[in-house]
Amino acid sequence: MKAAYFVKPGKMEVREFESPTIEKTTDAIIRIVRACVCGSDLWWYRGISARPSGVVGHEAIGVIEEVGAEVKNFKTGDFVIVPFTHGCGTCKVCLAGFEANCPNATEGVNGGYQGEIYRAINADGALVKIPGQPSDYTDEQLDSLTTLADVMPTGYHAAFSANVKEGDIVVVFGDGAVGLCAIIAAKLRGASQIIAMSRHEKNATLAREFGATAVLAERGKEAIEKLLELTGGVGVDVALECVGTKESIESAFQVVRAGGHIGRVGVPHDVVYNEWIDSLFWKNITLGGGVASVTTHDKALLLDKVLDGSINPGKVFTAEFSLDEIQAAYEAMDKRTAIKSLLKIGG
Amino acid sequence: MKAAYFVKPGKMEVREFESPTIEKTTDAIIRIVRACVCGSDLWWYRGISARPSGVVGHEAIGVIEEVGAEVKNFKTGDFVIVPFTHGCGTCKVCLAGFEANCPNATEGVNGGYQGEIYRAINADGALVKIPGQPSDYTDEQLDSLTTLADVMPTGYHAAFSANVKEGDIVVVFGDGAVGLCAIIAAKLRGASQIIAMSRHEKNATLAREFGATAVLAERGKEAIEKLLELTGGVGVDVALECVGTKESIESAFQVVRAGGHIGRVGVPHDVVYNEWIDSLFWKNITLGGGVASVTTHDKALLLDKVLDGSINPGKVFTAEFSLDEIQAAYEAMDKRTAIKSLLKIGG
């Protein structure tokens, strides 16, 4: 079988591998239908974070080819979302809805979804059943189903962690695929105003289509001033932090009103917190977030919303590629010519 | 009228002052019935925090002597809780339930409750009506009503900010009056296990009486190990941080399970957060808390619970004094011979 291979920063190849097989009785072997490239893949593609050479990718949908002897919830032929999380589904942490932190998901989580065949661990707990077969869906529907492996539940996790509720004024930092999905999430949870921070026309247009009621191009100090001005000096009820940089996190800390919430899903990089965390105390601001509860959010809400057409997160895929075009798929995201690159792999 | 006067660290006196009068149309003049000494008063009494000489105290109950022309909700003769917060009750922040952060409460908030007569600002928004008159209540009931000015709603704020819910396993750091009230709050909200951290017999006994299901005397690394052991290595659902020291906050950060909550009401002192805040992200732990919503929590729940006798937070007063004994009242708390010192001032 073929799979994408990370050679070194800036260089992806497609290589031939032996197909994975069942190793544990809780595994499932999946024929990948669609996969994609994640913004977080750019950290190592750009050489900013270290990663050894090897197979990569952590978002896909596919059809089960074989299941281990202990798998009860799935059978050969089932069409499934393959989340980047691998929760067992039975421990206290999974039952509390935080499968990204499952203590029983410690092996086999280093990617390989950007390929033809993938071995999923903890199948019963982690995978999410999609009704029917891939051929029952349009291309647009398959795109949206693919986002349920990561970006859509991650955007939702920001809104969930910040407890976005009916009538809230929400600002979203980050106009990449996750930030755009956070806009969908804020709207789903009833936010009355959603302010997107974006200076890229394509992203801003999609932000408005997804539910943003205003788009601001300002950054840093100017962004903070503008947001305070827009809220009569009080600040927003909620900030969704979908970037993870020092500037973005510090901005989020400064624009939320007393008693408001910050939900963060951007992996924090080089942030110095000391001067900010005490300010959260003095302003009664709640800081939540982390790695997304993909399976939980998909099952609770998001799969239904994609199936009934009320949300269309698949629009974040503005470019599509075959597996053989893997280098181009990464380059498109690296150079920002695509918001997110889709990989059409199997039928 | 007489009032307590802070001379210098370690020295309190009672001095004679002119009685305060209505200065703004939204003021109320209150004859203090009971006041008390707060754990946070010890910061300046001990000379750890700087504070100029002057009148002090920020917790009381009393009877209204006069109201300003614009006060609509109260009249002369009303018996009231006088919270340490002074929210206007009408701005967006107050309406959201965070009156400690009210932008319209910027003057007259520096104490003076430890005296015979007190001028309260923003009377309509801040004060809480108690049915009847002081003479309708027993000493024990008056004690509990006095805690509603600060310690009981502050303890409740920790549990509220951490979203303690039915069945939660909760640990409470701090066995002073606020920590003890946080135990009452966790029980009110349905926690199934409440672990109190205490090494003082009198406090531990009261912790058990208030609802603690276990009391641990360990601190630091030993406390963390013990709490993880008690929860099968998973960690507690919620930590209520009622101290504010580096050791206490760092312990709270380490004993909460993935996806759990920390509610903090201890004013943070000299805490270095960097190594901890990223760990909150990776464990999906939510950090909330701040200065308590006294009026909101009293009106929503706590006053009813005191009036119907289902909670008895007044038991935190283990010593009582007249206003003339103010030095002894502070010394009792400073030397830990009292958990909290009550001041019986008016009839």
DSSP B257-299: EEEEEEEE-SPP-S---HHHHHHHHHTT-EEEE-S--HHHHII
Determine the Cα–Cα distance for residues B93 and B104; give it in Å rounded to an integer: 10
**Which regions of chain A carry the CATH code 3.90.180.10?**
2-150+293-344
Average pLDDT, chain B: 95
Percent of the residues in chain A that have a pLDDT greater than 90, as a whole number? 88
Tokens of B43: 């910061």
**How much is the pLDDT for B107?**
66
Instruction: Output DSSP code: residue A313.
Output: G
For the cut 70, the answer to whether the pLDDT of residue A275 exceeds it is: no
Residue A60: exposure state from Cβ atoms within 10 A (0-12, 13-18, ≥19): buried
CA distance B106 to chain A (A): 14
pLDDT score of A268: 81
CA angle A205, A269, A60 (to 5 degrees): 55
CA angle, A297 then A303 then A304, to 5°: 115
Question: For residue A156, what are its two tokens?
Answer: 């939702």
Nearest partner of A178 among A210, A205, A151, judged by Cα: A151
Distance CA(A113)–CA(A34), nearest Å, equals 9
Predicted confidence (pLDDT) per residue in A7-40, tens digit: 999 999 999 999 999 999 999 999 999 999 999 8
How much is the ipTM here? Answer: 0.94
Percent share of chain B, pLDDT over 90: 88
Non-local CB neighbours of A312 within 8 Å, separated by 6+ positions? A140, A144, A306
Q: How confident is the model at residue A271 (pLDDT cuts 50, 70, 90)?
A: low
* Predicted confidence band of residue A73 (pLDDT cuts 50, 70, 90): very high
Cβ-Cβ contacts under 8 Å, B260 against chain A? 96
Residue B197's pLDDT is 97
State which H helix or E strand residue A31 sits in: strand A28-36
Which range, of A169-178, A311-320, B160-169, B238-247, averages the lowest pLDDT?
Answer: B238-247
To the nearest whole Å, the CA of A296 is away from the closest chain B CA by 13
Nearest CA in chain A to B264: A281
Contact predicate A86/B227, CB 8 Å: no
pLDDT exceeds 80 at position B110: no
pLDDT at A150 > cutoff 90: yes
Question: Does B273 have pLDDT greater than 80?
Answer: no
Residue A138 CB contacts under 8 Å (≥ 6 apart), including other chains:
none
> Is B108 a residue whose pLDDT tops 60?
no
When mean pLDDT is compared across A105-109, A276-280, A308-312, B228-232, the lowest value belongs to: A105-109
Closest residue on chain A to B292 (Cα): A284
In the DSSP assignment, the letter for residue B12 is E
| Residue A212: per-residue pLDDT | 98
> Model confidence at B245, in pLDDT bands (50, 70, 90)?
confident
CB within 8 Å: A284 and B290: yes
Q: Where are the alpha helices (DSSP H) in A103-150?
A: 123-126, 139-147
Q: How confident is the model at residue B109 (pLDDT cuts 50, 70, 90)?
A: low
Count the residues in chain A: 347
Separate counts of helices (H) and strands (E) for chain A: 13, 16
| Average pLDDT estimate for B319-325 | 98
Nearest to A185 by CA among A289, A99, A285, A301: A301
Q: CA-CA distance, B86 to B84, in Å (whole number)?
A: 7
pLDDT band at A249 (very low <50, low <70, confident <90, very high): confident
Domain(s) of CATH 3.40.50.720: residues in chain A: 152-289
pLDDT(A239) > 60: yes
**Confidence category of residue A245, pLDDT binned at 50, 70, 90:** confident
* Contacts made by residues A142-145, CB under 8 angstroms, sequence distance 24+: A142/A33, A142/A34, A142/A61, A142/A314, A143/A34, A143/A314, A143/A315, A143/A317, A143/A342, A144/A306, A144/A311, A144/A312, A144/A313, A144/A314, A145/A34, A145/A61, A145/A81, A145/A303, A145/A306, A145/A314
Contacts for A293 with CB less than 8 Å, ≥ 6 apart = A85, A97, A98, A99, A100, A153, A157, A160, B284
Question: For residue A268, what is the DSSP state?
Answer: P
Q: What is the pLDDT of residues B207-236, one digit of tens each?
A: 999 999 999 999 989 999 999 999 999 999
Nearest chain B CA: its distance from A289 CA (Å): 5
- What is the structure's pLDDT at A108? 57
Taking CA atoms, what residue in A is nearest to B104?
A: A234
Mean pLDDT of A315-336: 97
For residues B167-189, average pLDDT: 98
Contact assignment for B290 to A289 by CB distance below 8 Å: no
**Residue from B282, B251, B268, B245 nearest B171 by CA:** B251
**Do the beta carbons of residue B211 and residue B179 sit within 8 Å?**
no
Contact yes or no for A282 and B274 at CB 8 A: no
Q: What is the mean pLDDT of residues A215-233?
A: 94
For residue A346, CA distances in Å to A4, A60, A73 come to 14, 11, 23
Mutation target vs A (from B157, B286, B294; most A CBs, 10 A cutoff): B286
Q: CA-CA distance, B23 to B26, in Å (whole number)?
A: 8
The CATH class that applies to domain B155-289 reads alpha beta
Q: How close, in Å, is residue A138 to chain B by CA atoms?
A: 35
Q: How confident is the model at residue A107 (pLDDT cuts 50, 70, 90)?
A: low
Q: Give residue A21's pLDDT.
A: 96
- The alpha-carbon gap from A283 to the nearest alpha carbon of chain B, in Å, equals 7
Residues of B in contact with A237 (CB under 8 A): 96
Chain B residues near residue A100 by CB distance under 8 angstroms: 284
Cβ neighbors of A269 (< 8 A, separation 6 or more) are A244, A245, A246
Cβ-based interface (< 8 Å): residues of B facing A: 91-93, 96-98, 100-101, 103, 161, 232, 234, 237, 257-260, 264, 267-268, 271-274, 277-278, 280-291, 293
Task: Count other Cβ atoms within 10 Å, centred on residue A14.
Answer: 17
3-state secondary structure of B172: strand
pLDDT digits (tens, 9 = 90+) for B113-135: 999 999 999 999 999 999 999 99
**Which of B270, B277, B293 is the mutation pick for testing A, counting most A CBs within 10 A?**
B277
B63 within 8 A of B133, measured Cβ to Cβ: yes
**Which of these, A174, A282, A287, A152, lies nearest to B253 by C-alpha position?**
A287
Domain A152-289: assigned CATH number = 3.40.50.720
Give the C-alpha separation, B162 to B152, whole Å: 16
pLDDT-derived band of residue B339, with 50, 70 and 90 as boundaries?
Answer: very high
Work out how many CB contacts closer than 8 A connect A with B. 113
B93/A257 Cβ within 8 A: yes
**Chain centre distance of CA B48:** 20
CA distance B253 to B233: 15
pLDDT digits (tens, 9 = 90+) for B305-318: 999 999 999 999 99
Fold of A2-150+293-344: Quinone Oxidoreductase; Chain A, domain 1 (3.90.180)
Determine the residue type at A274. Answer: N
Which candidate, B110, B135, B19, places its Cα nearest to that of B66? B19
Q: Does residue A272 carry a pLDDT above 70?
A: no
| Closest approach of A209 to chain B, Cα-based (Å) | 29
Name every residue whose Cβ is closer than 8 Å to that of residue A123 and which is 6 or more positions away in sequence: A26, A27, A28, A64, A67, A68, A71, A73, A74
Nearest to A284 among B101, B232, B234 (CB): B101
